Structure 1
């Protein structure tokens, strides 16, 4: 069962909604295309307004020759090809693993099997925790297809390290383990940024370029972690040190090259729409707006009217930014008040044939969007931050700027990852377990 989901810019912020589920035994490109096309039409969604279909990174979905994307692209030549960058980051680490002197993924799986399939060895682990008077921690199984499980598995491994040290008795094994803990933290932080429900294509340029910059800095300064540097100094053989350092450099180079292979082709597009991630509107120049508009059919955007509308909104921002306690205070008041109004409208005007079935209660954390919008501003009292989609919604509210609004809606509808769809599967499994236990 596959969810068909829409990401769009609503009157108040970026939103997600489930349109329908597809039940398809064989996931072929033709079959998926026909079903998705039918669902969009049957829900009276205009195919021409599709901006960038988001999928996970399989050939069936986004392959160059015959895929769901290529079939849609035949209908809509201006369609933006989108990769799931959470998958890209995950795969970049898997790709880089071949350059390390020890296969950490295989080692973790062997350790898991070694302890968890033997009662005697499990008891040995329990005795260790009894000895140090701590609550026993089980070894976490690393699942190769999960985005963030490798670092968690390594972190847990350090807790039980004295018991399993024989698996990493060599210098290369121990150094590699500490190296991965250091570097994978950057990967995981970036992946978590990509998975936030309000992260969209407008944020992608900043996220990817800053991550690559961090990795390049590590290469330039040859910093692989303080603990790694200490261990390297203790290794008596210079050849072994050189081999380890070279493996770390190749690992990082491999991650950079893998990400750039996907990102480089569309970097100009992501850089162009990234202007809408800027929350200081004073810094946005007309030429940037004009460049962004080139990605939309010229028949849909009148550049002269767009310029006037941009000037109107920029003037509004300049006028309001220092009033009423600052722009962040105005947005903080605008978002909750409109959410209350929206919820009341849902109660009084509920329509089962609505464009999208809202999915706000999917999660009680990041994807519970209404509560998170309010909580986001409450959490920023000490250091006010402004979400770019909230700012855009606030400035466009009650303004007659159809061309600029179209450009904003276009940009914010581009997904950065497939995380929302992945979270649906997780919650389907979660609620399935609850139903079974009742």
Structure 2
């Protein structure tokens, strides 16, 4: 009987993905060297014989042009992720680049995903793990995000590299069946254990929910911070969200004003949101008042920088808005009462003036490279400002001007009531900040010297050193080395250098990077403090 011919099957396809079947079940084509041959004689043996041919070896050896194309495809895949484009968009983009620049360029959705997952992500994780192995102390950050019906938990690490600065990187990202303290702690501990980081963790950072810290007093044991401290057997520092605290402080204080600012902002925004006829009518009132029309801005309790711009937009168009709403039929009662009240504009100006201070504080502390020291100091500065306003019964110029104007127009305005309400606003907000940040301030005050706004004194450094030795972060035998290094630091961090940094408003992170690069003797210096 004649010998049965071999054919190209699924197993061979999986083993040799660059070999494709062509005309018959036994005829194949090599995509690398573009050679057609038959596997009818011995199947895999025919393919192995082809791989040993000089033509295939030469084709399998990448040229400099091939490497350039591969690099371009890698850059394009990185660009896709960096700009948050969908992989699907590369189906079209890849063909466009191919036709315009290089016919060998092929980076559609499948290849892009493969490059991102198997090359870029893997390389980034390996580099991150190397950096973490060289770091002595890290902070872990965690928070839940809803993605459809899933709870996504990113595991973020924050650490300082002497010659690069503060690094904030995602180490892990998983979905969990819930967000109880047990689920969160088990997840955090598993990631820490898998990456050998349990001994390096010094702080836990999360939002101010009870599940993370157990409330403002941080009592109890059924929260993430308490359970992490217990499981790791370490006195971790707990750091809540400073921006959230500042936002809640002004929100809590504004609830005492004779003005429901949230309802007003939301009502005005929704009234004009998708109604072209209403907007066109308002534009006519703006034109008569010679005021430029602006679109109303929305407000949300979870958007911490939304309050001041929304108030500012209303105040810019206050007169046209007032005339418009008082002229239309079926005006919403909330807005009708608001614009008929002669003191409404006064309280809007007062709240806007105060929101500016809170807004600037949030902007300063929301940077990812800012330290907990900077955050604590910024909140303390805001708190001291509010206390001074309370002591002096401060009223903004616009508010005082409106009081005089209302009196001249015969309005029955109680100036003492305005001062009492403003004073209560300052008191409530400063007390809220004190209540929610006293623990953070107490834990951070021994590190205040480390912001390098003044020349550090050894007595302050020694207090920090004692605490770090007591908590087990530094070996007690290292104190002499730390003092020797401190003397080197003083040779560089002089009063003149501090003045130069302060004048240029150099960030704390940059000051430490600069100090760690070189000491005055020209040697590399890596701080252990």
* SS of residue in 2 equivalent to 1:198: coil
> Which residue in the other structure is 1:277 paired with?
451
Match of 1:253 among 400, 404, 427: 427
Higher strand share: 2
Q: How many Å apart are 1:303 and its aligned residue?
A: 5.2
> Which residue in the other structure is 1:7 paired with?
158
Q: Verify: 1:394 aligned to 2:514, yes or no.
A: yes
Aligned in 2, Cα 1:194/1:45: closer, same or farther, shift over 3 Å? farther
Q: How many Å apart are 1:309 and its aligned residue?
A: 2.6
> Which residue in the other structure is 1:306 paired with?
479
Kept in 2: contact 1:290–1:303 (CA 8 A): no
Could you tell me how far apart the structure 1 residues matched to 2:434 and 2:524 are?
Answer: 40
Aligned in 2, Cα 1:393/1:313: closer, same or farther, shift over 3 Å? farther
> Which residue in the other structure is 2:367 paired with?
196
Kept in 1: contact 2:383–2:430 (CA 8 A): yes
Which 5+ residue runs of structure 2 have no aligned equivalent?
A: 1-151, 327-337
Match of 2:461 among 272, 289, 295: 289
Kept in 2: contact 1:28–1:60 (CA 8 A): yes
CA RMSD of aligned residues (A): 2.9
Q: How many Å apart are 1:388 and its aligned residue?
A: 2.3
Q: Deviations over 1:121-180 (max 9, x none)?
A: 222223234556776421001112111101110011122212323634423321110011
Could you tell me how far apart the structure 2 residues matched to 1:30 and 1:289 are?
Answer: 37
Could you tell me how far apart the structure 2 residues matched to 1:25 and 1:156 are?
Answer: 42
Q: Deviations over 1:76-134 (max 9, x none)?
A: 34111211110000111111122101111111112222232544422222323455677
Aligned in 2, Cα 1:309/1:106: closer, same or farther, shift over 3 Å? same
Match of 2:226 among 70, 86, 111: 70
Kept in 1: contact 2:515–2:525 (CA 8 A): no
Q: Deviations over 1:212-267 (max 9, x none)?
A: 12112212222221000112234447773222222211111111011100222332
Aligned in 2, Cα 1:320/1:296: closer, same or farther, shift over 3 Å? closer
Higher helix share: 1
Aligned in 2, Cα 1:288/1:137: closer, same or farther, shift over 3 Å? same
Q: Verify: 1:53 aligned to 2:210, yes or no.
A: no
Could you tell me how far apart the structure 2 residues matched to 1:310 and 1:156 are?
Answer: 55
Q: Deviations over 1:266-312 (max 9, x none)?
A: 323211111110144xx311121121124324344345643543343
> Which deviates further from its counterpart, 251-260 or 23-32?
23-32
> Which residue in the other structure is 1:80 paired with?
237
Kept in 1: contact 2:155–2:170 (CA 8 A): yes
* SS of residue in 1 equivalent to 2:384: helix
Higher relative contact order (CA 8 A, sep 6+): 1
* SS of residue in 1 equivalent to 2:171: strand
- Which TM-score applies when normalising by structure 1? 0.72
Match of 2:398 among 227, 240, 243: 227
Kept in 1: contact 2:465–2:479 (CA 8 A): no
Q: Verify: 1:244 aligned to 2:364, yes or no.
A: no
Q: How many Å apart are 1:25 and its aligned residue?
A: 4.2
Q: In the TM superposition, what are the counterparts of 1:102-141 in structure 2 within 5 Å?
A: 102-116=259-273, 118-131=275-288, 136-141=293-298
> Which residue in the other structure is 1:361 paired with?
none
> Which residue in the other structure is 2:108 paired with?
none
Kept in 2: contact 1:183–1:224 (CA 8 A): no
Which 5+ residue runs of structure 1 have no aligned equivalent?
A: 330-376, 408-438
Aligned in 2, Cα 1:307/1:191: closer, same or farther, shift over 3 Å? farther
> Which deviates further from its counterpart, 306-315 or 393-402?
393-402
Q: Deviations over 1:166-213 (max 9, x none)?
A: 634423321110011111111011111111222111213321221112
Aligned in 2, Cα 1:109/1:316: closer, same or farther, shift over 3 Å? closer
> Which residue in the other structure is 1:150 paired with?
307
Q: How many Å apart are 1:316 and its aligned residue?
A: 4.4
> Which residue in the other structure is 1:353 paired with?
none
Could you tell me how far apart the structure 1 residues matched to 2:370 and 2:493 are?
Answer: 26
Kept in 1: contact 2:315–2:349 (CA 8 A): no
How many residues are matched?
Answer: 349
- Which has more radius of gyration? 2
* SS of residue in 1 equivalent to 2:504: coil
> Which residue in the other structure is 2:184 paired with?
32
Aligned in 2, Cα 1:296/1:16: closer, same or farther, shift over 3 Å? same
